[in-house]
Amino acid sequence: MATPTPIATRKAAEAPVKTRLTTLLAIAVTFGVTTGVVEGIGLLLFQHLNWRQWARLMHVSAPILWISPIVDTALFVVLAFAVWIVGRVVSRVNTTQV
């Protein structure tokens, strides 16, 4: 088996890593759903534990368990698109290594 030359190894190491949009979207959806469910359960639990003082300020109902994951997922997907666009723009900028 032929071993790679040092030049080929160095070029492979310097090649920019391009993250696929589908990967970013999968990560965004995973974090959005997880964050939304934890947020919804946390709000309901906190309201139940301290309902006398906290319920006067804000009331949270059961639909928070499906609304919060949708809103958080939308937020994370928008952020993933922004990161992807910035990554595409930055990868086109020529940089000189010192």
Tell me the per-residue pLDDT of 18-63, one tens digit each, with 9 for 90 and over.
Answer: 678 899 999 999 999 999 999 999 888 887 777 666 656 667 888 9
Cβ atoms 47, 15 nearer than 8 A: no
Contacts of residue 84, Cβ cutoff 8 Å, sequence gap at least 6: 19, 21, 24
Res. 98 pLDDT band, cuts 50 70 90: confident
> Which of helix, strand or coil describes residue 18?
coil
CA angle 33, 34, 39 (to 5 degrees): 100
Compute φ and ψ for 94, nearest 5 degrees: -75, 130
What average pLDDT does the segment 51-78 reach? 85
**pTM for the full predicted model:** 0.69
